[in-house]
Amino acid sequence: MNKPGYNHQPSSVVVFRTDASLQVGSGHVMRCLTLATALREQGAACHFLCREHSGHLIDMIEARDFTAHRLTMPRQTDCAARESDGQPAHAHWLGTSWQADAEACRPVLAHLAPDWLVVDHYALDARWEEAVLPESTRLMVIDDLADRPHRADLLLDQNLGRDVADYAHWVPANCQVLTGPHFALLRPEFAALRKVSLARRHQHPPFKRLLISLGGVDKDNVTGQVLSALRDCDLPPALDIEVVMGATAPWLDEVRHAALTMPWPTNVVVNISDMAQRMADADLAIGAAGSTSWERCCLGLPTLMIVLAENQRQVASALDNLGAAKLLGPVDVIAETLPSLLNKLGSSALFEMSKTAATLVLGSGTEEVLAEMEQVDEAYLIGEIHL
């Protein structure tokens, strides 16, 4: 039986429109890179359209041998949207008006004539999509909000608690909508390490390794606040703490300094390429309730979650209600809630959390999405979808 996948010809082209910044964070680009890597393995040529925000990840994209088309930051006077009403809630994340962004993207897309355009950006909606989409190009939207219209052929919302019906009024009737963490875009190493990670947790290992990962940017230095709160916690003397950050994190130097003064050995690592292994080796994580939630679930890593953005609140509540993770709450209560929760987490509680989390994500989401893209292509080729 053939493995699910997107059977590209070598000439196929896929373009991603996504951004990273100190405000947006790194999650949108990272999940697009996961999908792009899988597409490339199937023979597609993948390009990225990204704006040069402060904290962008364009250099990382290029280091992974993808072609990146840089969108320059406009003058301050050009940043305002041309329309005052009807803007997406996150329109300011674009750094310019949607019309100006479309004007910059349109010639690149016209030249590349991609088979697929993949858009992962809270600031863009159907108006932008209709303005830039070349004829015969299929459109995939990756979203988490269900708060604006799209003219997509395929839409992915990988979040727990989301339902297909949430997008009924936002997409065309023929749009294929994929919802839930079953479709989470994870790199293959997470599925590869799932079995050994879960087997280790079945042994009820002692609490020896704590992993802290609060996003690649962490613009508000929540990591520093977590380290400060941990000083008041009754933790095992032999504990090792590992902190994962991105190279563009503005508080990186401060966190490194704080790590040197912790009562337990605390190692700060930057831009790592083996996150799956580090998660598999950890006994507990303190992390943001963003897209890394699905990586932790796949490996059954018990987690204390922190809500860093409003769009993470629904995911955090759903995971907490199921018992797949524990919600620490917003940033301003960490000093109170972290010691209390840690004191209650014995080996049995960690194991139960791990078991529940592991049922949510199997690690095959990227392959499932590739298979859905292939089905859309097949429907287009036989005329069921008219662009």
Active centre residues (catalytic): 28
Residue 130 annotated in ligand binding: no
Strands (E), the chain: 13-18, 45-51, 67-71, 116-120, 138-142, 154-157, 176-179, 209-213, 240-245, 266-270, 284-288, 303-306, 326-329
Q: Under a CB-based contact definition with an 8 Å cutoff, are residues 123 and 92 in contact?
A: yes
Q: Reduced to 3 DSSP states, what percent helix, strand and coil does the chain have, rounded to the nearest 5? A: 40, 15, 40
Q: Which residues pair with 75 in a beta bridge?
A: none
Distance between CA 231 and CA 247 in Å, rounded?
25
Largest CA distance in the chain: 65
C-alpha dihedral, 327 to 361 to 189 to 195, nearest 10°: 100
Distance between CA 370 and CA 287 in Å, rounded?
28
Per-residue b or e along 18-40, where b marks 16 or more CB atoms closer than 10 Å to that residue's CB? bbbbbbbbbbbbbbbbbbbbbbb
The one-letter code for the residue type at 134 is P
The CB-side HSE value for 231 (13 A sphere, CA atoms) comes to: 11
Q: Name, in order, each residue with C-beta under 8 angstroms of 107's C-beta and a sequence gap of 6 or more.
A: none
Q: Under a CB-based contact definition with an 8 Å cutoff, are residues 6 and 374 in contact?
A: yes
Compute the C-alpha angle 118/300/211, nearest 5°.
Answer: 85
Burial label for 169, CB within 10 Å (0-12, 13-18, 19+), is exposed
Distance between CA 308 and CA 295 in Å, rounded?
17
Residue 41 annotated in ligand binding: no
Classify the phi-psi angles of 358: left when phi > 0, otherwise alpha if psi is within -120 to 50, otherwise beta: alpha
List phi, psi (to 5°) of 15.
-115, 135
Which positions make up the binding site for substrate? 187, 295
Which positions make up the binding site? 187, 295
